[in-house]
Amino acid sequence: MFSRILQAIATEAAARGLEAMTPGAAAKDTDRYQARDLNKSHLALRTPAGVYGIQIKEIAASGAPKVDPGWWKERKAMPGWIRHRGWEFIGTGKLELIVRGPGSGYDGDHYRDAKTIPVEAKLPEVFRAFEIHKLRADWHKQERERAKAERQRRWESAMVVAKKRYFEHARWEHFKDRSREWQSVNQHRRFLAAAGEALGQYDGADREAIRRQLDEAERTVEMLDPVRQLSSIVPSLSEPKPDDLKPFLQGWSPHGPDGSHW
Q: In a 3-state reduction of DSSP, which class is residue 95?
A: strand
Q: How many domains does the chain have?
A: 2
Q: Is residue 92 part of a domain?
A: yes
Shared domain for 163 and 234, answered yes or no, is yes
Is there a domain that residue 147 lies in?
no
> 3-state DSSP call for residue 119?
helix
Q: Which residues pair with 52 in a beta bridge?
A: 45
Question: Looking at the predicted structure, is the pLDDT value of residue 116 above 90?
Answer: no
Based on DSSP, count helices (H) and strands (E) in the chain, helices before strands: 7, 5
Residues 55-110 have pLDDT tens digits of 998 877 776 666 666 655 666 666 665 666 666 666 677 889 999 999 888 889 99
Structural domain boundaries enclosing 87: 2-138
Q: What is the separation, in whole angstroms, between the first and last Cα of the chain?
A: 62
Instruction: State the pTM of this model.
Output: 0.65
Confidence of residue 256 (pLDDT cuts 50, 70, 90): very high
Calculate the alpha carbon distances from 30 to 27, 102, 135, 178 in Å. 5, 11, 21, 66
Q: What is the pLDDT of residue 164?
A: 98
Domain boundary pick from 104, 138, 172:
138
Distance of CA 195 to the CA centre of its chain: 68
Average pLDDT of the chain to the nearest whole number: 89
